[in-house]
């Protein structure tokens, strides 16, 4: 006999209080209910139920086995649900919060492609800096770059790495020279990223050590990376920017990368979603799509 089926019959017999009631609930004969319970008892070599003509009761071993069977059956149901979700089409409203610039340039186009693929999927995208609280804002999904801090109640998955590059125009380099090392950056004008009143340092990886932090001098301080890229393209100084943001400018020759011998710093990009027993199909589809396509946009 199938052990899982016999477990289900045994649990039902305990829950409803008799073999006859279990037979009615399961639409099988009373003797068949008894056969399933005896199969388990013979297999285990112990008695699970004490039965008289008037009542039945669990033995001490039967009580422990009953609790375990309930857990096993619940896990089996959950496993079936996961498999069913894997095959089900993503649908319903997907609320996503993303950093404004990364969201517009990289995340939104990929999610739009996903929405075209699944006509029953609705997108509700929120672009903002700083990122909104996921739980309080009732978001299904959030995308964040850099270090993660408070992850309570959340699941996370790294979906890409954002490479940073130092760049400038040829006209600026002709007038000011080309930096050959990190120390040379002190001799150059930088276009500085300032967010929430704080100047963000330029970071450069060091093997086995924390990254080097450099805060170059500059007379331009902007709180928008796109504006910094525009200013750098106009020859106003050097900039430290995500590669995906300046890729087209680099390909067109409007900007050139510098310090090619220095590895670029990588900001990890994570997907976060509220913790639950099962990942909703719409969230799984979005995270999988971003993990598959986003690295190609960032490198």
The whole-angstrom separation of Cα 117 and Cα 40 is 49
- Contact present, 44 and 31 (Cβ < 8 Å): no
- 3-state SS class at 221: strand
d(CA 105, CA 103): 6
Residues 6 or more apart whose Cβ sits within 8 Å of residue 289: 110, 111, 113, 114
- Apex 294 CA angle, 229 and 207, nearest 5: 75
What Rg do the C-alpha atoms of the chain give, in angstroms? 30
Q: State both tokens at 67.
A: 């609790």
Residues 6+ apart with CB under 8 A from 244: 105, 106, 162, 297, 298
Say if residues 108 and 125 touch (Cβ distance below 8 Å). Answer: yes
Contact 140, 94 (CB under 8 A): yes
For residue 281, count other CB atoms closer than 10 A to its CB: 19
The answer to whether the beta carbons of residues 159 and 290 sit under 8 Å apart is yes
Distance between first and last Cα of the chain: 56
Exposure string over 220-245, b if 16+ CB within 10 A, otherwise e: bebeebeebbebbbebbbbbbbbbbb
Q: What letter would DSSP give residue 105?
A: I
- Cβ-Cβ contacts under 8 Å for 290 (sequence gap 6 or more): 107, 110, 111, 143, 159, 160, 271
Q: How many residues does the chain have?
A: 299
Tokens representing 114?
Answer: 């996903």
Q: Which residues pair with 272 in a beta bridge?
A: 142, 156
Mean pLDDT in order along the chain per 10 residues (299 residues): 91 91 91 94 93 84 92 85 69 91 93 94 85 79 82 85 94 93 91 85 88 88 93 95 94 93 87 86 93 87
- Give the Cα separation of 182 and 14 in Å (integer): 74
pLDDT of residue 154: 84
Residues 6+ apart with CB under 8 A from 249: 167, 229, 233, 255
Residue 45 to residues 3, 31, 62, 180, 185, Cα–Cα distance (Å)? 14, 20, 12, 79, 78
pLDDT at 247: 92
Q: Is the peptide bond before 235 cis (omega within 30 degrees of 0)?
A: no
Strands 121-127 and 92-98: parallel
With H, G, I as helix, E, B as strand and everything else as coil, classify residue 191. Answer: strand
Distance from C-alpha of 208 to C-alpha of 272, rounded to nearest angstrom? 28
Query: 161: which 2 tokens?
Result: 């790495």
The structure's pTM equals: 0.66
């Amino acid at each position: 006999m199938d052990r899982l089926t016999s477990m289900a019959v045994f649990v039902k017999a305990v829950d409803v209080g008799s073999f006859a009631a279990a037979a009615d609930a399961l639409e099988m004969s009373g003797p068949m209910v008894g056969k399933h319970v005896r199969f388990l008892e013979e297999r285990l070599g112990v008695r699970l139920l004490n039965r008289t003509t008037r009542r039945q009761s669990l033995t001490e071993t039967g009580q422990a086995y009953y609790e375990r069977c309930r857990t096993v059956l619940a896990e089996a149901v959950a496993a079936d649900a996961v498999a069913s979700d894997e095959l089900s089409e993503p649908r319903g409203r997907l609320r996503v919060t993303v950093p404004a610039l990364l969201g517009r340039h990289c995340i939104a186009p990929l999610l739009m492609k996903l929405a075209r693929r699944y006509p029953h999927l609705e997108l509700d995208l929120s672009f903002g800096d700083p990122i909104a609280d996921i739980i309080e804002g009732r978001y299904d999904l959030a995308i964040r770059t850099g270090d993660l801090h408070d992850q309570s109640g959340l699941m996370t998955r790294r979906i890409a790495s954002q490479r940073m590059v130092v760049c400038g125009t040829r006209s600026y380099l002709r007038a000011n020279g080309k930096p050959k090392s990190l120390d040379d950056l002190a001799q150059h004008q930088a276009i500085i990223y300032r967010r929430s009143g704080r100047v963000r340092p330029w970071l450069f990886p060091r093997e086995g050590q924390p990254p080097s932090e450099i805060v170059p001098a500059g007379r331009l301080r902007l709180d928008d990376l796109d504006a910094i890229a525009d200013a750098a393209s106009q020859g106003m100084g050097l900039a430290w920017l995500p590669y995906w943001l300046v890729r087209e400018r680099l390909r067109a020759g409007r900007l050139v990368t510098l310090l090619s011998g220095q590895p670029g710093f990588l900001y990890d990009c994570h997907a976060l979603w509220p913790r639950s027993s099962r990942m909703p199909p719409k969230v799984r589809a979005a995270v999988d799509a971003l993990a598959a396509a986003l690295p190609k946009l960032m490198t």
